[in-house]
């Protein structure tokens, strides 16, 4: 199915799935909050207090078996395997170059309307890096949506400590209420770069974050050029993320975890140390995935909202992320020129 048809089908399918009861939508409100000169969004969704928390999946076990492990009595369960719920199913597509096949489905538990997923048709582990074919499909969705007057961005939670909820490889897309992008993207767009064709780090942030700005002519790239560009950008950032992890002597043993955020203008990779932050005021855990590092945190109560503000969002993100060592890595990469009044 063409990307245009899929994007156009999302809204109609979302409404139908909501009416049928196959999709659960949890209304929420957004509060803007400035922390250390960075404006964040905190989404309050009280209905999530009644949604059962799922255990963090074991990605290595799932990868070894080739399936998502779960269910009762040792039964294998993969929510992204066929047969698909017809009211959540949107369509399928195939990458022309690699012939990799994908399925597009709605997120069954939606806090943001029209939240959809790009899932590998065959099981692949959520602990594996994004492939060139997957990066191309992500960008084609972003650019197609923009041509249709819609603003969306993509994110990928990779590994045990990334905030991922399922071991079957899936990339997520959500619409933007602010067409200028999530808070992280706004910062990246303002960054003045000495070398626009190299990775850069945003010095306003309290944690390690690696970004790459796409060239302005990316929309006119051929499929081969787009694949090369996306793969090159991703691998450069992944190398920096792995380098950051290696500088941390206390990093957990196992495969690295990180979050990926992709817009039409930038790709960002944030290495992760842990999935949850323990709030010092009440000892409760706050789960953080890629959306948190996009600058869009999720809380489940008014009390938790106020506690998060007092705790400091920058401190929370640093607590589940890593310390930036960009000054050590800066040779061969770009360094953002600090903006007046931002530091």
Q: Which domains does the chain have, with CATH numbers?
A: 3-49+59-337 (3.30.428.70)
CA proximity to 118, closest of 143, 100, 97, 96: 100
Structure tokens at 180: 């200028």
Q: CA–CA separation, 240 vs 274, rounded Å?
A: 18
What is the DSSP code string of 299-343?
ESSHHHHHHHHHH-HHHHHHHHS----HHHH-TTS--EEPPTTT-
Contact 40, 293 (CB under 8 A): no
Q: How far is CA 338 from CA 25, 200, 269, 342, in A?
A: 40, 12, 20, 7
- Residue 57: the pLDDT is 54
- Residue 216: the pLDDT is 93
Cite the active site residues: 170
Helices of type H across 200-266: 223-246
Residue 50 carries which DSSP code? G
- Residue 114: the pLDDT is 97
Q: What is the pLDDT along the chain (343 residues), one digit of tens a residue?
A: 899 999 999 999 999 999 999 999 999 999 999 998 999 999 999 998 876 555 555 555 454 444 544 444 455 688 999 999 999 999 999 998 899 999 999 999 999 999 999 999 999 999 999 999 999 999 999 999 999 999 999 999 999 999 888 999 999 999 998 888 899 999 999 999 988 889 999 999 999 999 999 999 998 999 899 999 999 999 999 999 999 999 999 898 889 999 999 999 999 999 999 999 999 999 999 999 999 999 999 999 999 999 999 999 999 999 999 999 877 776 645 555 443 332 2
Q: How far is CA 293 from CA 22, 40, 64, 104, 286, in A?
A: 29, 10, 29, 24, 13
Contact 270, 258 (CB under 8 A): yes
């Amino acid at each position: 199915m063409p990307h245009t048809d899929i994007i156009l089908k999302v809204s109609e399918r979302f409404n139908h799935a909501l009416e049928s009861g196959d999709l659960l939508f949890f209304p929420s409100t957004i509060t803007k909050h400035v922390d250390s000169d960075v404006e964040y969004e905190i989404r309050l969704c009280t209905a999530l207090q009644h949604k059962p928390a799922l255990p963090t999946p074991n990605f290595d076990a799932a990868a070894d078996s080739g399936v998502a492990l779960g269910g009762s009595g040792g039964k294998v369960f993969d929510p992204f395997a066929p047969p698909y719920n017809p009211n959540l199913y949107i369509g399928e597509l195939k990458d022309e170059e690699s012939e990799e096949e994908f399925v597009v489905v709605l997120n069954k538990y939606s806090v943001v309307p029209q939240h959809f997923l790009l899932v590998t048709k065959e099981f692949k582990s959520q602990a594996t890096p994004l492939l060139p074919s997957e990066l191309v499909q992500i960008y084609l969705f972003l650019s197609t949506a923009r041509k249709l007057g819609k603003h969306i961005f993509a994110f990928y939670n990779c590994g045990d400590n990334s905030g991922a909820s399922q071991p079957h490889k899936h990339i997520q897309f959500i619409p933007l209420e602010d067409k200028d992008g999530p808070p992280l993207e706004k910062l990246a767009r303002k960054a003045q770069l000495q070398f626009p064709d190299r990775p850069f780090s945003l010095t306003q942030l309290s944690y390690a974050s690696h970004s790459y700005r796409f060239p302005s002519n990316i929309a006119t790239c051929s499929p081969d050029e787009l694949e090369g560009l996306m793969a090159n950008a991703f691998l450069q950032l992944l190398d920096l993320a792995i380098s950051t992890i290696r500088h941390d002597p206390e990093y957990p043993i196992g495969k690295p975890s990180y979050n990926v955020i992709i817009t039409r203008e930038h790709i960002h990779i944030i290495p992760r140390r842990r999935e949850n932050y323990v709030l010092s005021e009440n000892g409760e855990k706050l789960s953080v995935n890629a959306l948190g590092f996009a600058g869009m945190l999720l809380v489940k109560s008014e009390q938790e909202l106020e506690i998060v503000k007092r705790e400091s969002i920058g401190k929370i993100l640093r607590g589940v992320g890593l310390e930036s060592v960009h000054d050590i890595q800066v040779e061969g990469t770009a360094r953002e020129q600090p903006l007046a009044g931002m530091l």
